[in-house]
Structure 1
Amino acid sequence: MFNVENSGTERRILSEAEQKSARERRWSLVGRVAQESASVEMCLRSLMVKLLNSKYADIIAAGQSATDLIENCIALVQANEEINDQTRERGLELLRSLKPLFAQRNNVVHAPWFASSYEESLTEALSLVSKRRALPRATVVNYAEVEKLCNDLNAKLPEIWSIERAVRRANDSL
């Protein structure tokens, strides 16, 4: 929840222009998270295709959610006998590190955000996160944390491509 208790100072209501600017920032953040996560999903799909190493791999990987891609890639990295132990360890560490990022991503992209008309809406909003068979839970969305999520997702792209290249080289050596 927003911190409405104050040490005697009065809360400032934002002007219409400030509220509009804050709203556009929220929309921009949601869009950026969606774009960064879509890029990671594309890379995961490509990694899964290389791990499957089959003419039907594109069909199998198509349409899978990011969570399914991560889980399937973990299983395939563990089972793949062609990749070396260093690549396997790096791949598993990378894939496991994606799980919490996609959990955050889901909360940012799929939960509605509600901002106040006060100054705190310049840095945070209230979000109603709803999980299956559970009541919605109010959570504070800090914009700086969402920007960090975007950066963290983007930073995973070259790591995924590196693993994908190592798997492709292993496949080519067969």
Structure 2
Amino acid sequence: MSDELTLQHLTEDELPPLRSEEEMEQLQLRMSLLVGEVARASASLEDFLRTLMIALLDSKYGEVAAAGLGANELVDMCTALAKINHELTEPQRAACRSLLGTVKPLLTRRNSLVHGVWAPEHVSVEEPLPSKAIASISKRRSATVHVEISFEEAEKLAEELSKLGSEIFTWTCRSLTRQLRREQVTEPPPEATDQNGV
């Protein structure tokens, strides 16, 4: 029987003394900071993927084409563009596709962390503060799954997302320098707008 079930069957007088609210709030704060770090690192990675797509597309309309695409869509589009881009050498193409192949597994881990509902465990004063938490993950057409995520895993994921984003951006800057310098058109020509600016 799990600790949670055991605690449910105990009366209030039989419950072991639990750690203070302040300690549990500090634990919750640490989890929130880690989730924020992962979200920040993945947003940066997504931005670098968008830059890569614009460069691979090599169009003055690339920024508009890439706008609003999610990270998984950007990976798929960049993979397709890297496959057909005539300006890449075969080693460049292989390096680009290798980098892109590492993105989705990290995004899956990121989604579990960022979209999961985190629940700190009940901790008695005799036990050390936990180094992990339970994330309840709900997906379409499936039951909620409970996953244990350690603080160490969350820290490592933030580092991996940040490192991969930097690697993708560095590769883009080295391999597609000319394409990155292309001026981007993001506004319609004046004659295409009516008097209301639409």
Q: TM-score range by the shorter chain?
A: 0.7 to 0.9
5+ residue gaps in structure 1?
5-10
- SS state at 2:113 partner: helix
Q: Select 1:154's aligned residue among 138, 141, 162.
A: 162
CA drift at 1:84: 1.1
Matched with 1:73 is: 78
Match of 1:63 among 51, 60, 68: 68
Which residue is equivalent to 1:163?
A: 171
| CA distance in structure 1 between the aligned counterparts of 2:59 and 2:160, rounded to whole angstroms | 31
Cα deviation for residue 74 of structure 1 reads: 0.8
Are the equivalent residues in 1 in contact too, given 2:121–2:130 (CA < 8 A)?
A: no
Closer, same or farther in 2 for the Cα pair 1:117/1:126, shift >3 Å?
A: same
For the Cα contact (< 8 Å) 1:82–1:171, is it kept in 2?
Answer: no
Out of 143, 151, 160, the position equivalent to 2:151 is: 143
Equivalent residue number for residue 7 of structure 1? none
Give 5+ residue unaligned stretches, structure 2. 5-15, 181-198
Deviations 1:22-65 (A, max 9, x none): 00001001111110000000000000000001111111101111
Q: Is the 8 A contact 1:115 1:121 kept in 2?
A: no
Match status 1:46 vs 2:51? yes
The DSSP-based 3-state class of the residue aligned with 2:19 is coil
Q: Which residue of 1 aligns with 2:18?
A: 13
Q: Given residue 15 of structure 1, which amino acid in structure 2 is its aligned partner?
A: S
Match for 2:161: what amino acid? Answer: L
> Which protein has the bigger helix share?
1
Match of 1:124 among 113, 125, 132: 132
User: Which of 97, 100, 107 does residue 95 from structure 1 map onto?
Assistant: 100
Compute the TM-score of the two structures, normalised by the length of structure 2. Answer: 0.77
Over residues 63-87 of structure 1, what are the superposed CA-to-partner deviations in whole Å (9 max), with x where a residue is unaligned? Answer: 1110001111111111111111111
Q: Which amino acid aligns with 1:134?
A: S
The count of aligned residue pairs is 165
| Mapped partners of 1:167, 1:3: distance in 2 | 55
1:20, CA displacement in angstroms?
1.2
C-alpha contact (below 8 Å) 1:87/1:166 kept by paired residues: no
